[in-house]
Amino acid sequence: MTLMRDRTLLIIFSLFVLAAPLIFAPTGAAYPDLLQRFAIYGIFAIGFNILFGLTGYLSFGHAAFLGVGSYSAVWMFKLLSMNILPALLLSVVLAGLFSLLIGYVSLRRSGIYFSILTLALAQMSYNLAYSVLTPLTNGETGLQLRLDDPRILDAAGAEGSLPSTNLFGLEMKEVFWNPTIFGYDLQFNWGYYVSAVMLILSFWISIRIFRSPFGLMLRAIKTNQTRLNYTGVNSRPYTLAAFVISGMFAGLAGGLLASMDPLAGAERMQWTVGGEVVLMVVLGGMGTLIGPMLGAVFIKYFENIFSKINDTVLHGWFAFMPDWLDNFFVAIVSPFVGKGWSLTLGALFMIVVIFLPGGLVDGARRIGRKLTGADKRAAKVGIK
């Protein structure tokens, strides 16, 4: 029964997420900052998948909602309180409103026209943040906390230092437990666990949407929008709803980013950031439940690893070879590592789109099928 499968999936997912500091310890990726990024970009990708994965509408503009989420959160930190709860609420609401506006305009058209419109509007939002709405966004420098911020709801803080973001007293940057398990030094950090809970919640919401009539209509939009219209369903509000939902997820992600590190800059709204979330969803497997999360973790993880590899490390790898061969290989591999991560990402992306459009999930399925014998049943109901 699909319901059992979903419940099991949710439980396994939650366990993985909650035990992440332990699971990632052997790979050296278990420090709070990176784990937070896994969770937050996972939320961003899961939300984006609801639009792109289900309806097929490709928006390049979702970075704008990420940015709005961050700016809103920081404003809350300045005006009201360092407690992240009101900040996150404002992030989601404002991002939702903004995506309603942008979505309404962009959805006047469909297909490529829609994508180009989102691109243009994203670029415009970036320029708005960078140059035009500078009283709100502080332009180039970005929005930061200051000692003289009102923070109406907070008690007076310690003199001379900026207060930290917290959830009712639990500080986001605090490591509340630092045990050594299996010889690894683990850091359990509030910031990560707040993000993790949000992530599990987001995943649960996406499961419910996928299994709902609403989700069914979204998938119908992707496969044959015209037929859907002739069947009596008005596809436009469905797409707009998906757009806004994904915008709110993006806002939540932006708010969380600011909660971990209270500053907001315009560069978060560049359309290339919007491009990155597209990469995550496609790489992981668009339209699947677990794909976006896989893609987010994959990209953030390898981004982290690759950027640490420099020539010295490479020479270390190829040390066993004669010098000339060593240098040759270093020369070939070098552009792809270190600062060359974007190049690797672009190339990887092309390979996935050309050869494995279903992403990692599809790849895993194919390997699974080869291992367990060809799947002869043509009937498949439920998860794609």
Q: Please, which of residues 262-301 interact with another protein by CB under 8 A?
A: 271-272, 275, 278, 282
Contact yes or no for 56/246 (Cβ under 8 A): no
Whether the Cβ atoms of residue 292 and residue 48 lie closer than 8 Å to each other = yes
Work out how close the CB of 380 gets to another protein at its nearest, in angstroms, rounded to a whole number.
7
Specify the stretch interacting with another protein by CB under 8 A; choose among 16-24, 116-124, 142-150, 153-161.
116-124
* Closer by beta carbon to another protein, 30 or else 280: 280
**At closest approach, how far in Å is the CB of 214 from another protein?**
4
Nearer to another protein, 121 or 172 (CB): 121
Residue numbers 123-142 binding another protein by CB under 8 A: 123-124, 127-128, 130-135
- Show contacts with another protein in window 221-260 (CB under 8 A): 222-238, 241
CB burial of residue 223 (10 Å; 0-12, 13-18, 19+): exposed
Q: How far apart are CA 117 and CA 114, in angstroms?
A: 5
What's the min distance (Å) between Cβ of 347 and another protein? 5
Which amino acid appears at position 2 of this protein?
T
The answer to the question of residue 379 lying near another protein (CB under 8 A) is yes
* Shortest separation between residue 30's beta carbon and another protein, angstroms: 29
* 353 lies in the site for another protein, by CB under 8 A: yes
User: Binding of another protein at residue 310 (CB under 8 A)?
Assistant: no
Which listed residue (17, 64, 84, 119) binds another protein by CB under 8 A? 119
Least CB distance from residue 260 to another protein, whole Å? 27
| x-marked contacts with another protein along 32-71 as a string, rule CB under 8 A | ------------------------x-x-------------
Residues 175-194 that bind another protein (CB under 8 A): none
Minimum distance of another protein from residue 17's CB (angstroms): 22
* CB 58, CB 115: distance < 8 Å: yes
Maximum CA extent, the chain: 71
